[in-house]
Amino acid sequence: MSGSPRDRIPSYLGAMATYAAALAGAVLVGRVEGRAFTQQYSARDLTLGAVATHKFTRLTSKDGVTTPLRAPFTTYEGEAGSAEVHERPKESNHLQHTIGELVTCPFCLAPWVAGGYVVALNLAPGPARAWAALFSVVAASDWLQHGYAHLRAD
């Protein structure tokens, strides 16, 4: 497959439509269950969610252990340091390439993860906060590991 990003517009539109449909579906589920989405979020929930989304998207898109999840859509290119790998989207077809772009880019994946978190805060707040706490603690641990390694190297 060759071509420019313009050639992939239909698959990009499909990804955006999937995202919008998933969020709309979640709102519909909430209404059917009689749950109105909140109008305000606490600073704690937003902060934990931001840190957790950052860490979860890094793990999902860059961690060596999650390579099998990305393998149908990516080609391995090498180690990237700090237990991360560098992969590129496969070029077999536009849909596979678009999914490959999504799953190798933490910035691209973040709206999907954050959307799931916000939906979960409304439909299942306890598990959503537990997920956010877990990945926030992992993110803090990573920073401590990097700081320790830096101190040990000096």
Contact (CB, 8 A) for 111 and 43: no
Quote the DSSP letter at residue 92. S
12-21, 90-99, 108-117: range with lowest mean pLDDT: 90-99
Question: How far, CA to CA in Å, does 103 sit from each of 95, 111, 114, 143, 151?
Answer: 12, 12, 15, 23, 33
- State the pLDDT at residue 5: 77
> Residue 72 carries which side chain, given as an amino acid letter?
P
Comparing 98 with 153, which gets the higher pLDDT?
A: 98
- State the pLDDT at residue 6: 84
Domain count for the chain: 1
- State the pLDDT at residue 116: 97
Cα separation of 13 and 33, whole Å?
30
- For residue 8, name the pLDDT band (cuts at 50, 70, 90): confident
pLDDT of 42 > 90? The answer is yes
Mean pLDDT in the chain?
93
- State the pLDDT at residue 7: 84
**Domain coverage including residue 83:** 5-153
Contacts by 11-16, CB closer than 8 A, 24 or more apart = 11/94, 11/95, 11/97, 11/98, 12/98, 14/95, 14/98, 15/98, 15/99, 15/102
User: For the residues 127-134, what does the mean pLDDT come to?
Assistant: 98
Question: How far, CA to CA in Å, does 140 sit from each of 39, 137, 143?
Answer: 29, 5, 5
Cα separation of 63 and 18, whole Å?
25
- State the pLDDT at residue 154: 62
- State the pLDDT at residue 3: 66
Cα separation of 15 and 26, whole Å?
17
